[in-house]
Amino acid sequence: MANKSLFQSIVGALAPKADTRNESGGQGYSFTPRHALAQYAATGCLNATFYASAEDQLAKVLQLCEKVPTDFIARTALHCREKGFMKDVPALLCAVLAARDAERLELIFPRVINDAKMLRNFVQILRSGVTGRKSLGSLPKRLVRRWFETRNDEAIFRADVGQSPSVADIIKMVHPRPGTPAREALYGYLIGRKHDVEALPALIREFEAWKSAPEGNPPEVPFQMLTALPLTTEQWQEIARHAPWQMTRMNLNTFARHGVFTSKDLTRLIASRLRSEDQIRRSRVLPYQLMAAYHNVSADVPHEVKEALQDAMEIAISNVPQVTGKVVVAPDVSGSMHSAMTGIRKGATSKIRCIDIAALISAAFLRQNRDAEVLPFETNVVRVALNPRDSVMTNAQKLASLPCGGTNCSAVLIDLNARKVQADLVIYVSDNESWMDTPQHGRFGGSPTRTMSEWMKFKERNPKARLVCLDIQPYATTQVQERPDVLNIGGFSDSVFDIIASFAQGTLGADHWVGEIEKISL
């Protein structure tokens, strides 16, 4: 009889050999330049991560831009702004196009630089000189002027929050031409120059009058313009009554401090706003932002409002696919996953960690696929009992509190193979920085990654199975090489669920995620 252990080992040995080292020193497979750029754009915030500095990330993105066509740079910027709701790298890609392909920049500029925050990012990056120029140049100036021209007076006034540069700074740089007396007065008002007060838009005149005698309800100006003023409880309640959805989510503790929730009617109104499906969709909220709000609310915020945040989370992740067949979800709970999700930024480091995102996504899949098996891993698989009927927040907190160790991505597949598990879809949520399963001796590149080998063994038993490696950090390697049954994708917006659903149904093209980006129309 043939030696079963010999032929079983050959299955894994036939896997493609690793071709690089990942940031942790373990074996890995390199992404193509297009895939790597998409990965950085979907996950990168240009802040220091566990394995890479902000400078390393910036240098890597700029290097990758040199290796791909400008068409793909433009499409990547669009995808990661419109689908991933990212800010920093899409703005950086626009600045790259300003130096390399003005035509492509002009095509995508209104869709990527679509609010004042993105405008400030774009101008700041361009003037820093990192993309090869320190002045805006004629085309970028024209595009920025057009940005002002396509917005009404009130919208420009409301955009005047934030610094470095401020909207006023940008106006001084590009000198937009005022088309009306009101716009001329507005520009003068914003940059601190002489202007016709009577020609100012009504909202600004109302705001200036109210500042001089702050009595009664404050005007409906951006929240940031009012916070430094001595407001009464009734005025704070009026602000909260008319606050947009995102502002409400971000300022629940502020509202509590100023007595907003002493009104039961207003408390019900805010809770209703937070759980409004229409407003959640229009706000483009990321699921992790709801988790951050839920974790950060103080004891003074009413339970009804906290419950509304949980309801909002259920809505925000409602497009997690229901997969036919058995699903296994593997969240990485190793030490590196305890770093800040958006990287380390002095004075503004997010409290949400990579492990929180992995736990959230895993709990969301369990919610929609109630017979799914969740296998957290670090050095080994960590056993945990989860109830799919519990809320996403509850299960996510349980997963995020598990003990951590080293990173061993192959542990999950080793466990599944040892138990001879039958499954149709395996989903890793990790930073893919596996190192504990890398051989310590022998020539580098002489073997596949252990995860790749174990996946091929798993496929022998489950020939129709598919594997998703969802990476939530900006790195350019993977543990399992891209192929028809393997999807490598990056990001933490709910748009990744749509692509995973298409992949699970077998409707993605051969290039998977990169192929979806390349379909985007310019």
Residue 442 has pLDDT above 50, yes or no: no
Question: What pLDDT was estimated at residue 324?
Answer: 85
| CA–CA separation, 129 and 111 (whole Å) | 23
Strand partners, 467: 426, 486
Return the top range by mean pLDDT from 129-133, 240-244, 349-353.
240-244
H or E segment and range at residue 469: strand 466-471
Query: Is residue 465 scored above 80 in pLDDT?
Result: yes
pLDDT of 277 over the 60 cut: yes
- Contact between residue 150 and residue 142 where contact means Cβ atoms under 8 Å apart: no
Above pLDDT 90, what percent of the chain? 56
What gap in Å lies between CA 192 and CA 391, rounded to an integer?
51
Give the pairing type, strands 373-374 and 327-331: parallel
- Give residue-wise pLDDT tens across range 159-181: 988 788 999 999 999 999 999 99
Locus of tokens 């409004």 = 276
Question: Which pLDDT belongs to residue 7?
Answer: 46
DSSP code for 128: T
CB distance 116 to 167 below 8 Å: yes
Give the tokens for residue 3.
């030696």
Question: At residue 441, does pLDDT exceed 50?
Answer: no
Give pLDDT, residue 345.
Answer: 60
- What sign has the CA pseudo-torsion 138, 142, 143, 148? positive
Q: Which helix (H) or strand (E) holds 374?
A: strand 373-374
Q: Is the pLDDT of residue 227 over 50?
A: yes
Query: What Rg value do the Cα atoms of the chain yield, rounded?
Result: 25
Q: CB-side exposure of 308: number of CA atoms within 13 Å?
A: 23
Q: Which residues contact 263 (CB under 8 A, 6 or more apart)?
A: 237
Residue 347 has pLDDT above 70, yes or no: no
pLDDT one-digit tens code per residue, 65-109: 999 999 999 999 999 999 888 888 999 999 999 999 999 999 999
| Structure tokens given for 126 | 């361009």
Summary mean pLDDT of the chain: 88
CA 217 to chain centre: 36
Q: How many other C-beta atoms lie within 10 A of the C-beta of residue 3? A: 8
**pLDDT tens for each residue of 492-519:** 777 788 888 889 888 887 688 898 899 9
Cα 156–Cα 157–Cα 158 angle in degrees, nearest 5? 90
Predicted model pTM: 0.88
In angstroms, the CA 495 to CA 202 distance is: 40
pLDDT at 447: 86
Percent of the chain whose pLDDT exceeds 70: 93
Q: Domains in the chain, please, with CATH?
A: 17-31+320-518 (3.40.50.410), 86-216 (no CATH)
pLDDT of the residue at 213 = 84
Structure tokens at 511: 């290039």
List, for residues 7-45, the tens digit of each pLDDT value: 445 555 567 898 899 888 899 999 999 999 999 888 877
3-state secondary structure of 327: strand
**What is the C-alpha to C-alpha distance for residues 393 and 390, in angstroms, rounded to an integer?**
8
Mean pLDDT across 319-339: 88
User: 326 and 424 in contact (C-beta within 8 Å)?
Assistant: yes
Q: How many angstroms separate the CA atoms of 304 and 261, rounded? A: 11
| Average confidence (pLDDT) over 466-476 | 90
pLDDT at 1: 47
Show the beta-strand stretches assigned E in 16-153.
Answer: 20-21, 27-30
| 311 Cβ contact list (under 8 Å, min separation 6) | 274, 275
Dihedral sign from CA coordinates of 206, 212, 216, 218: positive
Q: Give 83's Cβ-side CA count (13 Å radius).
A: 21
Residue-by-residue DSSP string for 404-452: -----THHHHHHHHHTT---SEEEEEE-----TTS-SSS-TTSS--HHH
- pLDDT band for position 348 (50/70/90)? low
CA distance 4 to 25: 33
Dig out the tokens for 322 from the structure: 């229901």
